[in-house]
A and B are shown apart, each in its own frame.
Chain A
Amino acid sequence: MHPAKSVILFTTASGAGYGLLIWLALFSATGTIAPDRGFGFAAFVLSLGLVTGGLLSSTLHLGHPERAWRAMSQWRTSWLSREGVAALLTYAPALLFAAAWVLFGTNSGIAAFLGLIAAAMALVTIYCTAMIYASLRTVHAWHNIWTRIGYMTYGLMTGAALMALTGSLWGVARLDSLLGAAIVTTALGYMVKWRYWRFIDGTSSASTAETATRLKGDVRLLEAPHTEANYLMTEMGFQIARDHSAKLRRATLVFCFAVPFVAFLLAYAAGPVLAAILTLLGTLSMAAGILVERWLFFAEAKHVVMLYYGEKTA
């Protein structure tokens, strides 16, 4: 599948923003972080900024962005519509949670409760995003449980990194808890990605050139319907060379998981200044890594329509 920049940016940025919101709520509910107004302001601007920026970027790839509001209407059947509704609904508790923290300096009691509602809604939104892809039977690399687990894990992982980063820059008291969350989710992220690759490498779609044509025997494309690439081929026929994909998988492992994991671990043991520097390094590396991860998520996915264009399996 063609890896569109706007969609890569949207899914990674909104995932990280929602992840950060979830951690803000969890650490408030458990009383781990004090309602420091400066810290709260920075964290909420970062979180809601990423979410909003991501949503805006996702409308950029639409043919008619001015009609985007219509996408809220079909929540009964469409995961894209559900995602839009969930994203919009999340703003209400999230903004109230932010207001309680930043304006009234509290993140416990009713504020924590609002936070937990916002966190639940954020998780639902990430789930809807994952389901847009996971519900497509036409793309074997997406139509599986690892897509859902992956999107949720990477939202929590990148959110935890941002939480640790903001916390370390603000010198919050319980930075060790924040780093602990980042370390655990990074390790989890690595395991999920590994399982995902093992799944897509070892299995393929039930559809083949034979089921696509229902012709008996060995089916080969003799002549394509058109001489130049059409919409289907540029959108659905994006192919990445095997050695390129291997290189990018290694880059994902290093930048998205290995470097951040080590950096957060060292930060855990280091003094506050060094911890902040190491957390910043780890987070920047993860940001680059998650973009490569998401690019690959599209580039490695094959669509069954290509079975009509010479592919034997999908």
Chain B
Amino acid sequence: MTDLPDRTERKLGLVIDLDICVGCHACAVNCKEWNAGGHSGPLTDTAPYGDSPSGVWFNRIHTFEVNDPETGTGRTVHFPKSCLHCEDAPCVTVCPTGASYKREEDGIVLVNADTCIGCKLCSWACPYGAREYDETEGVMKKCTLCVDKIYNDSLPEESRVPACVSTCPVGARSFGDLGDPDSDVSRLVEARGGVALMPEQDTKPVNRYLPPRARKGPPPQEASGTSEDRAPRMLNHDSGERDGAGLIARWIDRALSN
């Protein structure tokens, strides 16, 4: 049934640290690797070596540039995005077949590929773009929180985390029960002021994002006024001086721009 459970025993989810993510896409690649053969596999690619390759991925890394008008500083923020396993998941309630559901035991949102009719309505209802349609199979696919890995007894204990978490080289991703206020992930969210994405959409995401830390020290000052303040330049292309350095520089400049 696409009724959402009143409450789930646990709220398994991810905590993503935007301060230390380096945007290497390793989590997305390992996600694809694991899940291509997992619960919702295959993750079909169309024309992978063609002109416009396309395919199903559960995890996508966006890169944003943020300019703070107050301090006049800018920074680059890498932003991994996958299903947030929302408590009030609109993707589940719109599903006409019951193929989309939220598990009562751990809150994971899944799609049953055997009953999905591929109407795509759930992907319209998700604000975060966490659902991708598999054209080849005619069904909707999404992050499973590696449900086939985190409970897998044949794996060593430390490997029973989602593929994205085990692969992140800088440890920007944590996994745990966000419903338990004493869990490591809940404490991390508490300590770092973790936030939910698009709270105004009323989806109550489980996943949290840790905002980039404030920069230490004053913002770099704009170089001001007189030329003495500035670092000495190696070559001055604009200079009308006829000394050797200027001539060579102009010649190289001209040769390279031809």
Contact = CB atoms under 8 A, between A and B. Distances in A.
A65 B139 CA distance: 11
B98 A220 contact: no
Interface of B: 1-4, 18, 23, 25, 28, 52-57, 60-70, 74, 76-77, 79, 81, 90, 92-99, 115-121, 123-129, 132-135, 137-139, 195-202, 209, 211-212
Most buried by B among A219, A220, A232, A236: A232
A244 interface: no
> Lowest 3 A-B CB distances belong to which pairs?
A63-B118, A63-B138, A225-B60
Interface stretch (A27-35, A79-87, A106-114, A153-161): A79-87
A236 B96 contact: no
A78 B56 contact: no
Given A74-B2, A216-B68, A62 B118 contact: yes
Given A63-B139, A76-B1, A71 B96 contact: yes
Contacts, number: 199
28 contacts: A63-B118, A63-B133, A63-B138, A64-B116, A64-B138, A70-B98, A73-B97, A74-B96, A81-B97, A136-B90, A138-B90, A138-B127, A213-B197, A214-B211, A215-B66, A217-B67, A217-B70, A219-B64, A221-B62, A221-B65, A226-B57, A230-B55, A231-B56, A231-B135, A232-B129, A235-B133, A305-B127, A308-B81
Interface in A157-211: 206-207, 211
Contact of B133 (A136, A214, A231): A231
B132 A230 contact: yes
A304 interface: yes
A242 to B, nearest CB: 24
Contacts of A138: 90, 124-127, 201
B64 A220 contact: yes
Contacts of A236: 123-124, 129
Interface in A47-74: 61-65, 67-68, 70-74
B125 A136 contact: yes
B132 A71 contact: no
B128 to A, nearest CB: 7
B54 A231 contact: yes
B96 A224 contact: no
B34 to A, nearest CB: 18
A229 interface: yes
B90 to A, nearest CB: 7
B1 A74 contact: yes
Most buried by A among B4, B18, B65, B137: B65
A94 interface: no
A223 interface: yes
Interface of A: 1, 61-65, 67-68, 70-74, 76-81, 84, 132, 135-139, 206-207, 211-226, 228-232, 235-236, 303-305, 308-309
Contacts of B125: 136, 138
B94 A78 contact: yes
Nearest to B63: A223
A226 B59 CA distance: 11
Given A68-B117, A235-B120, A211 B62 contact: no
Nearest to B124: A136
B69 A211 contact: no
A74 B121 CA distance: 13
Nearest to B195: A214
Given A74-B96, A206-B200, A216 B123 contact: no
A222 to B, nearest CB: 4
Most buried by A among B54, B68, B199: B54
A201 B195 CA distance: 31
A220 B67 contact: yes
A218 B65 CA distance: 8
A232 B142 CA distance: 12
Most buried by B among A79, A211, A217, A221: A217
Most buried by A among B3, B52, B56, B93: B93
Contacts of B134: 63
A62 to B, nearest CB: 5
Contacts of B117: 62-65, 67-68, 70-71
Contacts of A80: 94, 96, 119, 121
Nearest to B120: A235
Most buried by B among A70, A81, A214: A214
Contacts of B65: 219-222
A305 B126 contact: yes
A22 B130 CA distance: 41
